Amino acid sequence: MSQSSNAPSSSMPMFGIAGWSNSGKTTLIEKLTRHFAEQGLRVATIKHTHHKFDIDAPGSDTARHRAAGAAETAIVSGSRVALIEEIDSAGEPALATVASRLGPADIILVEGYKSAAIPKIEVRRAAVASEKLLAAGDPNVLAIAADYEIDGNGKPVLNLNDVGAIAKVIEGTLGPFKSVKVRA
């Protein structure tokens, strides 16, 4: 699993929400997920982090399985499945690889992956306004969602709190979405 290709296949309806740390990416993904789910769409999300993370509580059964040397550990209940894969020697998988492991979705919202070759919206907050503008050098940034006045470098600037306007950019890029009921 190499990071050689972050470009998804054309059949994967991915849209990125990119920005610097503390720019509001997670909050926007949460609002967009709710927006699209309320329309009856099946929404999947992928979150990239630069930090090592652990979803197992120390001493839990799955943590014990992993500590014993399991390369993959799945935990399954009647309402949820989680798969934990150890990749230390394999390296970080490409975005397309991660997306291909998800079930069918009408839309996949991707948080982070600033350099991925997918359409995206850059998120900007005044609190981190001094960070470099991604839109200036990335043709995949279609618009900027900000909570302050900013020159969009030729890209439209939307109000960070106007989820409807932001969703329209996504719908205009990936849509029209089918009118479907949420699938189990």
Cα separation values, 79 from 29, 33, 36, 47, 178, Å? 23, 19, 22, 21, 26
- From the number of C-beta atoms within 10 Å of its C-beta (0-12, 13-18, 19+), residue 122 rates as buried
- What does the pLDDT read at residue 4? 39
**CATH code reported for the domain at 14-53+90-174:** 3.40.50.300
- What does the pLDDT read at residue 91? 80
- pTM, to two decimals: 0.84
| Mean pLDDT across the chain | 86
Cα separation values, 83 from 19, 40, 66, 150, 168, Å? 27, 26, 11, 41, 33
Ranges of H-type helices in the chain: 25-38, 61-67, 95-100, 163-174
Band of residue 182 on the pLDDT scale cut at 50, 70, 90: very low
- What does the pLDDT read at residue 126? 95
On the question of pLDDT at 5 being above 60, the answer is no
Going from N- to C-terminal start, the domains of the chain cover 14-53+90-174
Q: How far apart are CA 163 and CA 106, in angstroms?
A: 18
- What does the pLDDT read at residue 2? 36
Mean pLDDT of 133-156: 96
- What does the pLDDT read at residue 52? 63
Tens digits of per-residue pLDDT, 57-99?
Answer: 788 888 888 888 888 888 888 888 888 888 876 788 889 989 9
On the question of pLDDT at 51 being above 70, the answer is no
On the question of pLDDT at 20 being above 70, the answer is yes
* Cβ contacts of 153 within 8 Å, gap of 6 or more: 133, 135, 136
Amino acid at 15: F
Task: Note the Cα 131 to chain centre separation in Å.
Answer: 20
149 and 126 Cβ atoms separated by less than 8 Å = no
On the question of pLDDT at 181 being above 90, the answer is no
Backbone angles phi, psi at 44, to 5 degrees: -115, 155
- The CA R_g of the chain, rounded to the nearest whole Å, is 18
Higher-scoring residue by pLDDT: 6, 120: 120
On the question of pLDDT at 180 being above 90, the answer is no
